[in-house]
Structures are given as C-alpha cells and as structure tokens.
Structure 1
Amino acid sequence: MLKPLLRRAKALVNITLDNAYDARRYFAHSQSGRYELNNDQLRGRLLQKAHSIEKGLSMPERRSFFGLKALSELEKLITAYEDRGLSEDHVSILMARGAIQAYFEAHSGQDAPANIAGFERLASKGAAPEDVGTIALTREGQIKAAHGDLESVMRSRRSTRMFAPGAVDADLIRDVIEMAGTTPSVCNRQSARVYVVRDQALKEQLSTLQGGSSGFGKDIDTLLIVTSDMSNFRDSRERNQGFVDGGMFSMSLLLALHAKGLGTIPLNWSAGRSQNKKLLNLLNIPDTDLVIMMIGIGQMPEHFEVAASPRRGLSDLMVEITP
C-alpha cells in the first residue's frame, strides 16, 4: 500500500518541479509582462501586430478604418525598430510596413482619422514584399493546387476568413479525420480526438469563447475542436507530448481538408484556466482531454482574399550544427 503512494508522491514532485522549470523559462524568455522587448521579442511582436491588420483586410465585411488601436501599436513598434537601427530586410519589418501600406491603399480616397493620418509615412521606407496585406485567390485555383503533389498542397494552403454558403458533407469530414489518423504519435499512442460541432447556436457560443473569429465566425459551417487525451502519457517527461501529437494531428487535418477542396481557418486555443473550464463544460469534454485548437471549415467562395502573411526566410528557420 505504501509503495504505490510513494510512487504517486514522487510523480507529483517531478511534475511540479518540471512545470516550475518550464514556467521559469517561459517567463524569462517570452513577452509575458514585459514593457521593454529585446530584438527577437520586438520582431515577434511586429509579426503579430502586422498580421492583425492583415486579418482585418481579409474579412468578408471590412469596417472602414478598422483596427485603429492595433495600427497605433504597430506604429510604436516600427518606431522602436527604427530607433534600434535593426535590419530593414527582415520579414518582420517588411511585413509591418507592408501591412500599413496595404491598409492605406484599402482606404484610398478616404480621409484618415487625425490620430493615424501620419502613419502612412511608415510604409514608404524600405521595399515591402509584393505579397503583403492580402492575396486574391479563386476557388478553381485553390482546388487545382490542392490536387497537385505534396509541395503544391503545402504551399497553396491558406487560412481563409471568407466562406461561401453551403453545407460541408458530413461523410467528407469523417474521411478527413480518418486520414489524419495516420499522423505519427509518440510510441503510437494515438491520443488525438476530434469533436465536431455543426449546431449554429453552439458554434456561436464557441466563437465568442475563443474570441478570434468575430466578423466571420457566423459563416463557418463546421467547427472542429482537436484534443489530446492525457491518459495516454506516462510521466512528467511527457507533460508536453499532447501538444506535440495534437499539433501534428491538427496540421494533418488542415492539409487533408485543403486537399478535399474546403476552406479552413485554424483558431488558436491560448486559454487560461477559467476559459478552458468553460469550454470543457460547454461540450461535456472530459477533464482528461487537453484542448489543442479549433478549426473552422466551410465552402470556398469563387473569389476571395486571404492574409498574405509572408514567411520567415530559410536563414531564420535553419541552424547548421557543425563540430
């Protein structure tokens, strides 16, 4: 009797210490609670704020001069970047300038509010990539690309916030989830699970709870909630494995849905305790399930726009390890 209790006590101590180690590193290196950002954090914040402008530009019903707060924050970040004399060739500053450029082009001929009227000057410095702001796509072009080889499928997949009317075939969703079941997982644990929501009222509740789909959430036909069952994992060393396996499973879903000719929007689940409990209770999801993310699905319109979201270059992605 004592031995099992000691084993559980030891496991709890290890989990506590390892999570404390994670918390220390996250607090030390993330932007959490920081007013002053280091250069890498500044670049990350630029990408985030520029993307918030891109998202607004890719909305189906765009408000005139939307996102004034985000635009003001982006102006401060660009100014800080300039003051530090950092490279004008990095994707973060190019994307930020490009987002401002696209914003003012989208409002061409309109009188800008006084508090942002001078921001347009920030778009004139440095050559922004050609694919900033939004990209115009067609359903026909996306389906053709999705029927190509794997590289074509991966390079053409885009997150969309514009959906056409029309129900998504339930059998097709089942096929896609079964396809994603081929995703590798640690020691073949296969911890992933997908909750499928089609009820409009429930989707609206989930959209409000998630908080990142205002302006287009009502157009999502089917909503997937991807989870990972923590009961599949053994000890503290596997405390993050559910996110790894669930994340890979989610990417498989996104690629499979694209290959089937459907529009998708990945919706993050960066939730605190209270928010997470509300979701579990709302859908009767067991406490053993670790929520990974949501995926909105719908039919693609004949013509639509998506956020350009230029990517980091290879030099930022790859590090050669040499003796």
Structure 2
Amino acid sequence: MIRKVLDFRWDVMEKRRLMAESRSQSNRFNRFYSRTYSVGTGQVETRILFHTHQIEKGLSHKDFRPGFGKDALRCLAIALEQLRGDDPRYEGNEVYRMALSALHEYVRRHQTLKFDLSYMQSMFSNELWDEVLSCEDKAAGSETILRESKLANEQDTFARIAHGRYAVREYSSHPVSSEELLKAVALSMKTPSVCNRQPTRVHIVLDKTVIQRLLDIQGGYRGYPTPPALVLVSSDLRAFMNHTERNEPYVDGGLFAMSLLYSLEYYGLAACPLNAMFDKAKETATRPLIGLPDYEVPVMYIAVGHFAEESTVCRSARFSAERITTVIK
C-alpha cells in the first residue's frame, strides 16, 4: 500500500513538472521563432534561407517550369532589404550571399530561355537587382551529380561521402528492395542513444499508393514523382523515464536518421530527408496508414530511390564552422 501511495505521488509530481517545463519551453519558442513580421536579424535570416531553398528546389526540378516561385521571390525581396538595413556588414553575410547566388541562377536560367523577367525585376529595388545580376558566388542554386560518381562509395572515405551527400528528390525507375534498406538500417545501429535504450523505430513503406497518400499529408514533396521507397523514423516513448527526457525522442531519432542518411549514401542509394513535425490532424491521418502505435512519435521521413544517370540537386551551401561555433577557453 505504501509503495502504491509513493508511486502515485511521484506520478502526480512528474506530471506537474512535465506540464510546467513544457509550458516554459513553449513560451521560449513562442518568444523567438521567426514569424512573417519578425524583425530581428536571426528571424529575418531564417525567412531568407527558407525562401532561398524554395528557389533552389524549383531550379533542381528535372522538368523546369519557367516563372516559378513568384511568392518566394517577393518574400526574398522584402527580407533582403530588411537584412540590408539591420546588418551593417550585410555584404559579407553568408545568408545574404546564398540568396543572391540562388537569385542569380534563377535570372540566368530564365534569360537563357529568353523568358520575360519583368515581373521579378519589379519586386526588387534597383540596387538589389544590380547585386543579383552581378553576383558571382556559387553558394546556392543547383548542381548536377552523376550516378557513376556514387559507384565506389563503399570504398570511399567518410569525409568524401559526407561532403558528397545531397538531398535527391527524383530517382531512377528501378525499385528499392527492403533488403537494401535493411542493410542501411543495420549499418546505422551504432548510433548512440540515451543510456543505450535504443528508442528508434524504422517503418519502411514500398507501396507507392500508400507512399503518395503519406506524402500528400506531409505536404512538402509536391511536384515530384512518387519515390520508390519511404522510410519513417520514429521514437518509442516507452524508452524514456522522466519529464527531463521529453525532448530525447527527437534527439535520439534525429541522430539515428542522420546515420541512416549516411548509410544510404554509403550503399549508393539516393535519399531526401523530409519533415515529420505534424500537427494533430496530420498525425492522426498518418498513423493508420502505417500502423504507427500511439506510443511512437514520428521524427522524420526519408524518401529513397536509386540514383538516376543524372540528378539535379539543390546546392544548399552550409554556414562556415566559425559562424556557428563558440569557443570557451
């Protein structure tokens, strides 16, 4: 009886702590995340990166659609002007240079097709438009990778594999087998997890009808053919023990997902990570399609296929290590 009373008291206290700390965490997120009207430099840079990547994805389509991305262009024109006003060193700002680079390729590709860009020019100030036209950076935009460059991945160094990995959204027609995917999962099993509790679960979907239904719910893969395979990385909440571990399902799942992306690359499979941070409606619609238990939370999708002979991908430049690193001596 005493044990039951103590357990009940512990459960009540844990629930209160979980709610209080989740609320505190939610409040912090609410203070700092990037809204459409946020004016802080960090938030403005976030919107620039988001819309730059939209442009990159349009540039990487196999079937290029001239005139795409008008909303993204309009948002970039506004945000770039904000950054010019906020950051006195904007000309050397990596985010600023990435955006100009992607916009420059957008202009060049359309000019090659002799496509009228008056709609685009009207969105930008004369000074910013001149910078777009004269930009020589290759930080963002698109590039082409060849399937033959992946044939020797299993004999390559980790550094070359890591630097050569890109998100690939269009694949060859060759199907992907569960055996191929299980090899990559097996190679990823050394991924660390809290106290080696190994909460990650992997759901492999090869049925194209189900894949397309899942991606329609996910909403971020529009305009591309249905991939041959879709992997959902999830975390089993039963592996966690107290309120302080409330974020650990996503940490451990994210670590495993990155290992899996490298493993897929190692075995010569093309892949694209896809967001699975669903609202309640999307999660409710997703669960029955793959039999996801209530005690598992979705972490991330990965679309998988074999490389086509040529693949056009987003260049998606990364920040310098110095920009993101603080050294405390």
TM norm structure 2: 0.92
Between the aligned partners of 1:180 and 1:233, the Cα distance in structure 2 is 21
- Partner residue, 1:256: 263
CA-to-aligned-CA distance 1:49-68 (integer Å, 9 cap, x gap): 10110011111222221111
109-118 or 239-248: bigger deviation: 109-118
2:10 aligned to which of 7, 11, 17: 7
2:41 aligned to which of 39, 42, 49: 39
CA-to-aligned-CA distance 1:263-294 (integer Å, 9 cap, x gap): 10111112212111211132221111111010
Gap regions ≥5 residues in structure 2 = none
- Partner residue, 1:223: 230
- Partner residue, 1:139: 147
**Percent identity, aligned pairs only?**
26
Asked if 1:202 is matched to 2:210, the reply is yes
SS in 1 for 2:232: strand
CA-to-aligned-CA distance 1:49-97 (integer Å, 9 cap, x gap): 1011001111122222111111111111111122334421121101111
Determine if contact 1:204/1:217 at 8 Å carries over to the other structure. Answer: no
- Counterpart code for 2:262: L
Shift of 1:195: 0.5
Shift of 1:4: 2.2
2:254 aligned to which of 243, 247, 252: 247
Determine if contact 2:142/2:313 at 8 Å carries over to the other structure. Answer: yes
Determine if contact 1:143/1:259 at 8 Å carries over to the other structure. Answer: no
Determine if contact 1:100/1:123 at 8 Å carries over to the other structure. Answer: no
TM norm structure 1: 0.94
| Pair 1:130–1:114, CA change in 2 (3 A) | closer
- Partner residue, 2:168: 160
60-69 or 114-123: bigger deviation: 114-123
| Pair 1:231–1:128, CA change in 2 (3 A) | farther
Shift of 1:217: 4.2
Determine if contact 2:270/2:305 at 8 Å carries over to the other structure. Answer: yes
Between the aligned partners of 1:5 and 1:170, the Cα distance in structure 2 is 45
185-194 or 279-288: bigger deviation: 279-288
Determine if contact 2:168/2:271 at 8 Å carries over to the other structure. Answer: yes
- Partner residue, 1:118: 122
SS in 2 for 1:116: helix
CA RMSD of aligned residues (A): 1.7
Determine if contact 1:146/1:152 at 8 Å carries over to the other structure. Answer: no
231-240 or 43-52: bigger deviation: 43-52
- Partner residue, 2:85: 83
Superposition pairs of residues 297-316 of structure 1, within 5 angstroms: 297-316=304-323
Between the aligned partners of 1:37 and 1:194, the Cα distance in structure 2 is 40
Determine if contact 2:206/2:228 at 8 Å carries over to the other structure. Answer: yes
CA-to-aligned-CA distance 1:106-162 (integer Å, 9 cap, x gap): 111433364323357635427452242101111111334563111111111110122
Determine if contact 2:237/2:297 at 8 Å carries over to the other structure. Answer: yes
| Pair 1:211–1:92, CA change in 2 (3 A) | same
